[in-house]
Each structure stands twice: as C-alpha cells, then as structure tokens.
Chains A and B, each alone.
Chain A
C-alpha cells in the first residue's frame, strides 16, 4: 500500500479527530464540574449546525465567523438550561438525570424536525472543496481550519480554567464541592457558567462541522454516542483526554477503513472503548475517583 495514501488517511483522521475532540470537550467539561452527563450533547451540536447554516443562508455569514454569535447565544442558553432545568436534578439519582436529558434530546430532535424538516441542509463556501498539496500529501482545507479552530478553542478554555479567578473557582467546585461551599463560592452560578462553557464548545464544534457535513435533525444521537466514546476513551472530565480521545478515534477509524474495510470503522472505535473500559476504566488521561 502506498505510503502517501496512509499518510493522507492519517492526517484526515487527526484533523477529523480534533473536531470530534472539541465536540466531546463540552461533554467532558460539564461532567468534570457539574457531574451531570449531558445526553443531549449531539442534539445541541446539531442545533449549532443549523444556526450556522441559517446565518449563512440569511446573512452569508461564514460559519467560522458565525462562531461568535452562535457561541454567545449557546453560552446564555447553556447557562439558563442549567439553572432552570438541570440544577434541580443535581442531587437526584443518576437515572433521573439520565431520563431528564434523554427527554431533552428527544424534544430537541423532534423540534428540529418540525422547524427544519427532514431534508439535509448545508453551507457552500468558496474554500469548502479546497485542499493544500504538500508533495503527494493533500490536506483538506475546511478540515484543517476546523481542526485549528478546535485547538484554539481548547487552548482558550485551558487558559481560562488555569489563569482566571472564575476558572479557578470552577475548578475548586470540581475538586472539592463542600470546600467550595464553605469558602462561600456561588456554586449554582458556577455550575451555570460551566454548562455555558460546555455549550460554547458545542457551538464552536457545530459551526466547524457545518462546513464538513450536511445537517439533518437525526444527526444528533450519532454524535452524542460518539462524544461518549471519545470522553470515555480519553477520560471523563479531562480536557486533554477529550482531544486525545477524539484524535485516537479519528485515526483508528480512518486506519480501520483503510486496512480492514470502511464498514469496520465503528467496530474498531467501539473495540477501543471496550479495551479502555477493561484495562483503564478512568480513561487514558482520566483520574481515578
């Protein structure tokens, strides 16, 4: 098999994996702090994709520029969703949280079907079908921009958590809930902010994905499942783990498609998931509870 073919496929897998990682990052951040698993994650990303598509259709706004308004709107929505709907469930059993968010997911999918219909929608930018050639290696331009966006967003999130007072307060909540309460941190507000930040990750991933994929309402559950696989492989609650998990899944699926069969892609990613669950249940970069 030609080496340039393998390199091309690996590069495509890495770039796709970074975008997957960004999407899963939101799930990981929310769980790491709020300890709630967002089962409507993929559906929220689908809404972000629709927002990007609509902004492009109405205002000709490039999806990468649409990130700013969509992320801002998602932050507000995420904050409100957490405060109004999810917060009362924080102390309830996990199955109650699960049912709540599955219900939210179903409402979102059907709402999108009612509003947008079943047809696939997309954006058509000038650079969408471009690629950069480095010798025999071809790099998909749109995928490269999307991956770069994923890296920048992750870096900004990392800096926020590391160097801002609010970020440190959120980390304190995640590390020691009782201690954070004792020192007088406004936990509810910080949980709301965290959910808003997770929603920003989803919004950025959705805008970037709208360049790569056509959006349909049914897209959500597929990406919710994918996000779970990624964060479990990378480590639930770990930011670096989400990106690593995304890249691992992206590359392993690409190589499985190349060396085994394209239909074996999912088999390999779920095989990887089983191995991680067996030998490192906390995920590759996760901490033992």
Chain B
C-alpha cells in the first residue's frame, strides 16, 4: 500500500475524500428530512417506573399512528431517566449528540426542568408531555413547549371539580387534612393550594393539617397517624403512585375511614398498579386530573392502536399518560409536517405556530395553541373515580361514564 502511494494516487485520494466530505453533509440533511428523530425521555426505572412505562406506551404507538395521519416518519430514540434529575440531564445531552431533532418528556417536573435547560442551551426543541411546575415555561426559554396545565391551573381545575363533586352528591364537608409529596411537583401543588383555596368561594372546607412526605417513603405510619388524628372529614391528597399505595394500606391498617380521598390533580390513584395492589381498597378514590377525552376522534384512533400494541391492557389505566405523551409527539410531527425541515430553529418556530383542533387531540382540553411562553392554556381536568376496578370519568357531566359516589360506602359519620 505504501509503495503505491505516489503523488498522483495521493491527489486522487484527497480528491475522493473531499468529494465524500462535501456530499456527506447533504446526506445528513436528506436523512433529516426523511425522518423526524424524537428523543423520548421517561422515568422507566426507579420509583416512577410504572408511570414512565405507561407514558412510553403512548410514545410507542405514535410512529405508526402519525405515519397514517400526517404522513410523517417518526423515529423514536428512547432514553430512561431512571427517575433521576442528573440522569435525565445526561440522557438529554446524549440524545442531542446522537441526532435527536426534538426532545419529548419527562413526566416529572424536576427531570423536565433539567431537560429543558439542556434543550435551551443546545437549541433543540423540547416538548414537555407531563410536568406541572410553572417555572419550566417561566424562564423565557425559546425552545421549550408544554401541552400540560401548570400546577396552579391544574389545581384550580381540580379544586373547582372538588366543589362540583360536593354539589353533585349534596354533601358539604367542613374540614380536610392535606397530604402531599415533597418533590418539585408536590411542593408546587402545596403552594398552589395555599394560594388558591382561600380565594375559592365555592369551597367551604378548612384544612386542619398539612403533612408533606417523601414520595419514595416505604413506611407512612407516622404520617397517616398524624392525618387521622386531625379528625378531618376528608383527605385531600397530592401523591405519586407507590406512596399512594403505601398510604392507602396504612389508612386501612389504622382503620381511618374519612368521607373519601380526593386528589386535586396528581397521578397515583387512577393507575392500574394502584388497583392491582389494593383491590377493593382502591375503590371510590377520586382524582380530579387531566385525562383523555373519551369522545375525541383521536382517542378512537389511538385507542385502536393501543389495543393492538397492548392487547391485555386497559386504555383507561394509561389514558392520561398515553394521551399527553402521544399528543406531545404529535405536536412535533405536526410542526415537522408543516415546516418540512428538522432544523431546530425552524422546527421550534413551527411548534410555536401549532393550532391543533379539539377533535385531533387525545387529551382533554381546547385547541392546542402555544402562548408566548410556550405554554398551552385551556387544558381541562375530569373527576375520575375508581369504580368496579376501573377509573371512570364521573364529572364534567358531558364526558361522564359513571355516577360519582361520595362519601365512600364504608364511611361512617
């Protein structure tokens, strides 16, 4: 080889290399224009693993559905955040290095905030699927978008629905004990309860005690003992999944039967694992939260794809997670279809111009339009109650699948 490398051959080699080098970038551009690479960041392990995996189901069916609907090829680049903020940040960096055009995720506010920082620094659009901490879209970021209500909005919707629950059941609890997880989301919700509840004329209950707890706690004996001792009419709860199971078990052990458990907007109570782990003790828990629109055309399409991908699963247990995650990827695909480019700046601008009508979104709410901060306003909540082993929409009446039950049947005044 070295013997044949004379000046003429060397020149040929340089020329060939230059040609390849010159063509290569165009090759990359062509590849980018054919497929939208979506980096999906979710906590698929760690203590949020079950919810992360539930969200992942919405991502997994998106390429097939969106190809049919928008004609866009979506390639998913999945990354597990391990329910850890630092891992989320590192995985986001890596996805961008590996060529992701847009990031979607990450269910949790802390992890989403970390990803948003990376996305903004690197100039890659990030569409938050589920995360309620307001600060994510309050930083003046240009590449961060969110189709999910911020904590105060989520909470306001949840508290309004709490009033609707009382109205629909002709009850008027006077006191509540408020328990909440002490992570980023829980703290934001707790601040919101303190700020919003006193201003709501439709609600007349007083919070007797507020108890914060670790969402990774394995034992909530003391917390439940304190809550029970408050002797409140009902439990207002902002929880995650695993802690909700531990907490409900402890309530049963301590024979605490308040009028009911009402969450003003958090995961946990409506999840499949909650029902599987608790059986009959999961019944009648109410969660006023973001949900999927059972009447939307998109729900029918996604629902069919969901049953095909997950023949043994019930959409009702994954609806909110699937709906918001699917919608986030759809927003990216819709922008890409309009922009016809995966250039991050062009894509971000196209996302900003999004206008998806109600019938074409799966999650419950108005049209998907981003405000100047990159936030969608007008997302709605529904009162979801576990009945017959399934979470069912009980309010608002126009979406209801079952009649609300409050107080819980085992409640003794």
In contact, B225 and A9 (Cβ under 8 angstroms): yes
Cβ–Cβ < 8 Å partners of A257 in chain B: 222-223, 226
Looking at chain A's contact residues, the main secondary structure is: mixed
Task: Give A residues with C-beta under 8 Å from B.
Answer: 1-2, 5, 8-9, 12, 16, 113, 118-120, 122, 124, 128-131, 133, 138, 140-141, 212-214, 216, 218-219, 253-254, 257-258, 261-263, 265
CB-CB under 8 A from B184, the residues of chain A are none
In the bound complex, what is the Cα–Cα distance between A273 and B192 (angstroms)?
A: 37
For B214, B222, B226, the residue with the greatest tally of chain A CB atoms inside 10 Å of its CB is: B222
A130 to B221, CA, bound (A): 14
User: In the complex the two chains form, is A118's CB within 8 Å of B49's CB?
Assistant: yes
Max chain B C-beta neighbours (<10 A), residue from A1, A129, A261: A129
A221 vs chain B, min Cβ distance (A): 12
Q: What's the nearest-Cβ distance from chain A to residue B230, in Å?
A: 10
CB within 8 Å for A140 and B253 given contacts A8-B225, A214-B242: yes
User: Which residues does chain B contribute within 8 Å of A131, judged by CB atoms?
Assistant: 253-255
Complex contact A263–B213 (CB within 8 A): yes
Beyond A118-B45, A128-B249, A263-B212, 9 extra complex contacts between A and B, CB < 8 Å: A8-B225, A16-B221, A118-B44, A119-B50, A122-B277, A124-B279, A129-B281, A138-B253, A214-B242
A/B interface sample: 23 pairs, CB < 8 A: A8-B254, A9-B222, A16-B221, A118-B44, A118-B46, A124-B277, A129-B253, A131-B253, A133-B255, A138-B255, A140-B253, A141-B253, A218-B47, A219-B218, A253-B222, A254-B221, A254-B222, A257-B223, A257-B226, A262-B211, A262-B220, A262-B222, A263-B212
Complex interface: chain B residues within 8 A of A122 (CB): 277
In chain B between 12 and 63, which residues have their CB closer than 8 angstroms to a CB of chain A? 44-47, 49-50
Query: Which residues of B lie under 8 Å from residue A253 when comparing CB positions?
Result: 222
Q: B400 near A: Cβ within 8 Å?
A: no
Across the A-B interface, the 8 shortest Cβ-Cβ residue pairs: A257-B222, A118-B45, A118-B49, A129-B252, A12-B221, A5-B229, A131-B253, A213-B218
> How far, in Å, is A29 (CB) from chain B's closest CB?
25
In the complex formed, the residue of A with least CB distance to B48 is: A118
For A130, the chain B residues whose CB sits under 8 A away are: 253
Within 8 A of A (CB), among B199-257: 211-214, 217-223, 225-226, 229, 242, 245-246, 249, 252-255
User: How far in angstroms is the closest Cβ of chain B from A172?
Assistant: 39
Please determine whether A120 and B44 come into contact, CB atoms closer than 8 angstroms: no
Q: In angstroms, how far is the closest chain A Cβ from the Cβ of B3?
A: 52
Nearest A residue to B256 via CB reads A138
CA distance A12 to B214 in the complex (A): 18
B182 at the interface (CB under 8 A from A): yes
Shortest distance in angstroms between B207's beta carbon and chain A's nearest beta carbon?
A: 17
Residues of A within 8 A of B217 (CB): 262
Size category of the B interface is: 20 to 34
Please measure, in the bound complex, the distance between the C-alpha atom of A149 and the C-alpha atom of B377, giving whole angstroms.
56
The distance from the CB of B111 to the nearest CB of chain A, in whole angstroms, is: 16
Residues of B within 8 A of A129 (CB): 249, 252-253, 281
Residues of chain B within 8 A (CB-CB) of A213 are: 218-219
A63 to B269, CA, bound (A): 27
The complex places the Cα of A258 from the Cα of B246 at a distance, in Å, of 18
What is the bound-complex CA distance between A2 and B225, given in angstroms? Answer: 11
Bound complex: CA A139 to CA B171 (Å): 33
Highest count of chain A CB atoms <10 Å: which of B182, B223, B246: B223
Q: Give CA–CA (A252, B284) in the complex, Å.
A: 35
A262 and B212 contact, CB distance less than 8 A:
yes
If the complex has contacts A118-B44, A131-B255, A138-B254, are A262 and B213 also in contact, measured as CB distance less than 8 A? yes
Chain B, residue nearest A120 (CB): B242
In the complex, what's the smallest C-beta–C-beta distance from B268 to chain A, in angstroms? 13
In the assembly, what is the distance between CA of A258 and CA of B242, in Å?
Answer: 22
- Shortest B110–chain A CB gap in Å is 16
Most chain B Cβ neighbours within 10 Å, of A118, A129, A219? A118
CA distance A8 to B229 in the complex (A): 11
Given the known A-B contacts A218-B46, A263-B182, are A258 and B218 also in contact in the complex, defined by CB atoms under 8 Å? no
| A8–B45 alpha-carbon span in the complex (Å) | 35
Query: Nearest Cβ in chain A — how far from B387, in angstroms?
Result: 21
CA distance A155 to B47 in the complex (A): 36
A5 contacts B226, C-beta separation under 8 Å: yes
* Residue of B with least CB distance to A141: B253
Inter-chain contacts of B219 with A (CB < 8 A): 16, 212-213
Kindly list chain B residues whose C-beta atoms are within 8 Å of the C-beta of A1.
Answer: 229
CA A5 to CA B49, docked complex, whole Å = 34
B-side contacts of A216, CB under 8 Å: 47
Per the bound structure, the CA–CA distance linking A254 and B47 in Å amounts to 23
- A265: chain B residues at CB < 8 Å are 222
Smallest CB gap from A266: residue in B: B214
